[in-house]
Structure 1
Amino acid sequence: MVINWRRRSNMQSFLSCTTPRVPVCPLPKTNSQPILQRKVEYFNLGDLWDQYREWSAYGIGVPIILDNRDSVVQYYVPYLSAIQIYTSKSHSLTRCMLEDSEKESFSDDNESEKLSRSSDVSDDSLFDQDVSWSARHLLGQLYLQYIEYGSPYGRIPLFDKVNELAQNYPCLTSFKSVDISPASWISVAWYPIYHIPSCRNVKELSTCFLTYHTISASFQENNYVPEEVGNDSCSTNAGDVKEKKSSHNRVSLSPFGLATYKLQGGLWVNPETPDSDMMSSLYSAAYSWLKQLGVEHHDFDFFTTH
């Protein structure tokens, strides 16, 4: 197959391969539901995290066209860089909070040990003072906030980190996307591990990425894609394992924000595509999002200043 390398965008290839596509289900109808809400579809957060299971274990392969027209597959491992989950007071939240309370009642941790966990917190006092109480109230109740501060070399992959957090926040794997506020989001840090075939002196392949995704159903209405439009051209692992098909449609959680680190040369940005404008727009969106929520995102600050 001949690839038109001049029009191919490596940036678009990366975004396509690393975008999770999650199975959706129709929300059960109830007599008390307003008519306009009877066609709502949702996805389970557990299914979202499952998208990162093999990527966390083997890496996700992104097809890249080099400047000399050779092609390689660059593998990236996803890490949870940040997450905020807001909820409204609902039956499902009450049930999950009861599970949290029961879990904590049997915990061996004393109160001082719980307060010492600075990496995952859910206290409104940690928000920037510019975010007023009324604005926070509109966001919903903050169920979970986690910001990663550790070195990339000391982190565990996203799927493992989510399971670790779920030990204290069980709703993290059981929430439905309709249970959480539109302000809920995650940021994924993508770090390169190796490329096939191996090639020397390609500094651009050391580029790292931060992608931002909303995890509420509210912002995904225009992102539904048929099952056959998935990212089958992207390799899940060295064995080129393909994503299993199902009869259900999937929602594509395309990134609304982006930041890069060690983005050198013109390998990723193709001047014959709208890559530059797209990246600028995604970066601005991430910056605005963090500012509006009053979040100091360590990885974003590092990517921006280095």
Structure 2
Amino acid sequence: MAANLRKRSNLQSFLTRTTPVVPAYALPKTCLRELNWLPISQGKVECFTLGNLWDQYSEWSAYGVGVPIILDNCESVVQYYVPYLSAIQIYTSKSHALTRIMLEECERESLSDDSESEKFSRSSDAVSEDSVFDQDGSWSTRELLGQLYMQYIEYGSPYARIPLINKVNELAQNYPGLTSFKSVDISPASWMSVAWYPIYHIPTCRNVKDLSTCFLTYHTISASFQENNALEDMTKDPYPTAVDNTREKKKGNNCISLYPFGLATYKLQGGLWIKPETSDNEVISSLYSAAYSWLKQLGVEHHDFDFFTTH
């Protein structure tokens, strides 16, 4: 068993444990044709509420999330991390607001005498002015971004920050959509970054410097991005624990996993997190490049990302 545990990737373990699994539901088929700003490739769109997303971080913010770590001597510890909101941007647009109205009409399953063709005609007229596609079918930059509803970037010291759920509740006082929006209400450019700082590990180990590693994960929070199955396969733990099994059952019960599309690390030293026989190096390189490109395209100066990169 010890030999097997040594093959286990601690990076994979971290990404698995810190990925939020959010209750979701598929939109009615009658609504799909009206969501013309969504790139529907699989014939369905899974929707979730931002309130349910933040609920996932509630317990983690209070107690930390435990990440099983296998040390070089094959002993195991559980390292606890607390999430902090490092940055977030939520974009909306006129067409997205209309989509929300149409979605609510579909959900109420109104007993209107109008035919589906008549309903679709009215919906098409309503959104034609702000179509998200150019004439060649590509995404329009203006509509892809939409209007910036809110932005928050953390600049304070890690020691002066409050956990993610507390920061969200604080921001929601001025931006109620932060907790009330559905994932179909916001544009594909909406995203958040979570800073994960270690607090303690059980059992306590001395002189294990690699357990001080900090992480930045980047997540899209729009319904237009479905699960990243490729990343899921790359980060899957070959030796799942009871915690993994519970998460798999939850994920299969009408839930969606918001796997990170980007990653940055701080104090990532030695070989504790990266195992040569795994895809860890590829994962870190790919996710870091994705985060860098994302921030560059949006013109965002992310303080934590710059600090992690230069230290």
Q: Report the TM-score, using the length of structure 2 for normalisation.
A: 0.76
Give the superposition deviation at 1:248. Answer: 3.4
Partner of 2:10: 10
> Tell me, what secondary structure is at the counterpart of 1:194?
strand
Q: Residue 5 of structure 2 contacts residue 74 of structure 2 at CA under 8 Å; is this kept in 1?
A: yes
Following superposition, the deviation at residue 39 of structure 1 comes to 3.5
Give the aligned partner of residue 79 of structure 2. 74
- Paired amino acid for 1:256: F
- How many positions carry a matched residue from both structures? 259
C-alpha spacing 1:136/1:293, structure 2 compared with 1 (3 Å): farther
1:128-184 Cα distance to aligned partner (Å, 9 max, x none): xxxxxx734531111011000000000000011101000000011011111111111
Q: Rate the CA distance shift 1:137–1:28 in 2: closer, same or farther, 3 A.
A: closer
The verdict on how the C-alpha distance between 1:291 and 1:85 changes in structure 2, with shifts beyond 3 A counting, is same
- Paired letter, 1:173: T
Change in 2 beyond 3 A, CA 1:275/1:286? same
Is residue 287 of structure 1 aligned with residue 292 of structure 2? yes
Change (3 A) 1:232 1:166: farther
SS of the residue corresponding to residue 305 of structure 2 reads helix
Normalization by structure 1: what TM-score? 0.77
- Give the Cα separation in 1 of the matches to 2:79 and 2:35: 47
Describe how 1:107-186 pairs up with structure 2 within 5 A.
135-186=141-192
Cα 1:245–1:294 change in 2 (3 A) is closer
Residues 24-53 of structure 1, C-alpha deviations (whole Å, 9 max, x = no match): 112245579449978322011100000000
Query: Contact between 2:46 and 2:226, CA under 8 Å: does it hold in 1?
Result: no
**Cα contact 1:232–1:243 (8 A) shared by 2:** no
Give the secondary-structure state (helix, strand or coil) at the position aligned to 2:156.
coil
The corresponding residue for 2:254 is: 249
Shift of 1:217: 1.4
Match of residue 272 from structure 2: 267
**Within 2, Cα distance between the matches of 1:14 and 1:284?**
19
Structure 1 unpaired stretches of 5+: 95-133, 236-240
| Alpha carbons 2:227, 2:259 under 8 Å: kept | no
Conservation of the 8 A alpha-carbon contact between 2:25 and 2:47: yes
Percent sequence identity over matched residues?
A: 75
2:147 partner letter: Q
Q: Describe the shift of the 1:144–1:247 C-alpha distance in structure 2 as closer, same or farther (beyond 3 A).
A: same
RMSD, aligned α-carbons: 2.9
Asked whether the 8 Å contact 2:188–2:222 carries over to 1, the reply is: yes
- Which amino acid in 1 is paired with 2:209? K
Structure with a larger share of its residues in helix: 2
Give the structure 1 partner of residue 65 of structure 2. Answer: 60
Match runs of 1:199-218 below 5 Å: 199-218=205-224
Equivalent position amino acid for 2:177 in 1: C
Say which SS state the counterpart of residue 201 (structure 2) adopts. strand
Following the alignment from structure 1 to structure 2, what is the Cα–Cα distance between the partners of residues 146 and 195?
Answer: 30
Structure 2 runs not aligned, ≥5 long: 102-139
Read off the aligned partner of 1:200 and give its amino acid letter.
Answer: R
Matching residue of 1:45: 50
C-alpha displacement at 1:220, in angstroms?
A: 1.0
| Distance change in 2, residues 1:170/1:232 (3 Å) | farther
